[in-house]
């Protein structure tokens, strides 16, 4: 469970953001933001972005930074996602055809998860990415508008989410999204675990509805690649 939650955290999502009192009119702003996301979602076909992910471990007070790229593609049967993490911990994570697959080049190994009974959790986390309908967030999360913030010269709505299901709260107690509702993309995403650990993802060089690089939803293996399927 922890390994699949780690994969989802990348999507799916700085120092601990303090809770603030919602500004006057925030409820109306929330409805407006979700509706604008809904409208932008209708024209969404694909997206790609560079990202930098900061991982914080409370028990050791350590931080680790990872870089990579993320790709989204909407099809007739849902949204495919591919995450490529670069550097010493290089790996590729692909959500496609009802499976979550993680390839680690250093081990030359694929770890494969059938998403079956976790399908709703997978969809909930994918809704935290690019191109999702705003009101769909409310199916899996209590959503609160915490105000407007400028991130990299873009006006974003800061949405604070609390998972509705106990299972999801066991993975992430709180999620913060910095959303550009005009394009229905994220500028930042922060996920807090019950342990006090968190993940902060910063997105940059976002490209919408452009041709994606060839083969980004396929995993390139070798003749010696092994596959494991955790029970």
Q: Please report the domains of the chain, with CATH numbers, ordered by start residue.
A: 2-228 (2.50.20.10)
Give the Cα separation of 194 and 168 in Å (integer).
11
pLDDT of residue 77: 78
pLDDT of residue 16: 29
Q: What is the pLDDT of residues 1-18, one digit of tens each?
A: 444 454 444 444 322 222
Give the Cα separation of 194 and 208 in Å (integer).
34
**Using an 8 Å Cβ cutoff, are 198 and 190 in contact?**
yes
Query: Phi first, then psi: what are they for 161, rounded to 5°?
Result: -115, 140
The CA angle 227-113-111, to the nearest 5 degrees, is 30
The low-confidence residues of the chain, meaning pLDDT below 50, are 1-4, 6-25
Q: What is the pLDDT of residues 175-225, one digit of tens each?
A: 999 999 999 999 999 999 999 999 999 999 999 999 999 999 999 889 999
């Amino acid at each position: 469970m922890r390994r699949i939650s780690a994969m989802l955290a990348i999507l799916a999502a700085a120092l601990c953001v303090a809770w603030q009192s919602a500004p006057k009119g925030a409820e109306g702003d929330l409805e407006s933001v979700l509706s604008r996301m809904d409208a932008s979602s209708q024209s969404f076909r694909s997206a790609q972005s560079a990202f930098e992910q900061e991982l914080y471990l409370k028990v050791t007070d350590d931080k680790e930074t990872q870089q990579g790229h993320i790709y989204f593609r909407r099809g007739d049967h849902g949204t495919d996602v591919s995450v490529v993490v670069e550097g010493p911990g290089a790996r590729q994570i692909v959500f496609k055809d009802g499976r979550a697959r993680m390839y680690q080049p250093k081990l030359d190994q694929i770890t494969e998860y059938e998403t079956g009974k976790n399908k709703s959790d997978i969809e909930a986390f994918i809704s935290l990415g690019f191109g999702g309908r705003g009101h769909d967030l409310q199916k899996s999360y209590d959503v609160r508008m915490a105000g407007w913030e400028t991130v990299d010269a873009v006006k974003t709505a800061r949405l604070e989410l609390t998972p509705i299901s106990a299972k999801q709260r066991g993975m992430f107690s709180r999620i913060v999204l910095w959303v550009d509702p005009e394009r229905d993309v994220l500028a930042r995403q922060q996920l807090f675990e019950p342990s006090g650990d968190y993940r902060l993802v910063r997105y940059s060089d976002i490209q919408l509805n452009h041709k994606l690089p060839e083969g980004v939803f396929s995993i390139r293996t070798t003749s010696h690649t092994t596959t494991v399927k955790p029970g």
